[in-house]
Homo-oligomer: A and B are copies of this chain.
Amino acid sequence: MSSAQQPAPPRPTSRDVARAAGVSQATVSLVLGGKWRGRVSAATAERVRGSARELGYRPNLAARSLRLGRTRTALLVVPALTNEFFARVYTGAAAVAAEHDFGVVLYPSPDGTGPARDPFASARAALDGVIASSMAADALGALRSADLPLVMLDSDPQDPGPAARVNLEITDGMRQVAEHLLGLGHRRFVHLASAVDTWTFAVRARALAEAVRSVPGTTVHRVAAPLDVRAGREAAEAVLASPGPPPTAIVCDDDILAAGACKAVRRRGLRVPGDISVTGFDDLALATAVEPELTTVRLPAEQVGERGMTALLAVLDGRPAEQAGLPVHLVVRGSTAPPPAS
């Protein structure tokens, strides 16, 4: 603040290192690039490394990128970082990236809130690949047109676009939820779904509907809401206020909606899980912060990021990316119980 700007001592270049070690710049590049076996003597190589260390040499990434045509940077497209799930996906992806000297840059995708910019307006030229989470079809189009290697997270397996895909076994997770509730005796369900129209949520709806079909006399009433607590509460309140017999279980697409649903139930003077059971999805920190703690499906968010990055690195190397769904599992806590004896 008060201190004046430093005169900025220019960062040492490979040429400076070369001068210090008494060799040519090319030799420095060979040694530091690790491809010197049979080209440079061990003694010289050691001398070069010494000079580099002494000068605190760091290669200029811009120059390297320009030369190589690769940037060692991946773009991660997520709906919103404020959703803990995606923050964790990022964390996993960034960890794997760091191990391979890769960087991860984020693009919170257009869900209406951000400035409507081309995701690649500035980034495109500086990227080696893209990892994109489940998103609306139109936004997907933009990603396609950028002829970059693309890894999709939790997306439709039918879709031929991406070079690789990392999926969660969402269907299985929702089936576990359904079986848990059916086993407890529930027959009248409300599915509090996300209003976002992406594959991962479509799957939840389908899985629930199918799982429930095996037990005759079961009903599922679906209602959608944006992913926040208040919206979830309001949607659930509307359902509970509607005529007819009330549901005994509210299955939510997300822990956030489940938290809202719990509030709605109590606002009507009913109890969770005594009168109505509620289930979440994701197992966010929120799930154990509310009371009762939520019965939910734990998703390995960090692993999704890790696998996504690993797959992208494989694709960039021309190697095949292994395709496997990540298993998920039900975590039973306090928000589910048998329905009240009618």
Contact = CB atoms under 8 A, between A and B. Distances in A.
A307 interface: no
How many of these chains are in the complex?
2
Given A82-B84, A288-B230, A103 B105 contact: yes
A291 B288 contact: no
Interface in A129-167: 147, 149, 160, 162-165
Q: Which of A59, A103, A260, A289 has the most CB of B within 10 A?
A: A289
The range of chain A's interface size is: 35 or more
A160 B2 contact: yes
B58 A62 contact: no
A77 B124 CA distance: 24
A117 B94 contact: no
B59 A125 contact: yes
A41 interface: no
Interface string A285-299: 110111100000000
B229 A289 contact: yes
Contacts of A162: 1
Contact of A114 (B5, B90, B95, B106): B95
Interface string A95-119: 1001101011110100000110100
Interface in A302-341: 318, 323
Given A82-B285, A259-B289, 9 more contacts: A5-B149, A58-B120, A60-B66, A62-B63, A62-B126, A80-B91, A81-B90, A82-B91, A101-B122
Contacts of A90: 81, 106
Nearest to A258: B289
B291 A266 contact: yes
Nearest to A113: B91
Contacts of A105: 103-105
Nearest to A72: B122
B291 A291 contact: yes
Interface string A183-197: 000000000000000
A221 interface: no
A65 interface: yes
A43 interface: no
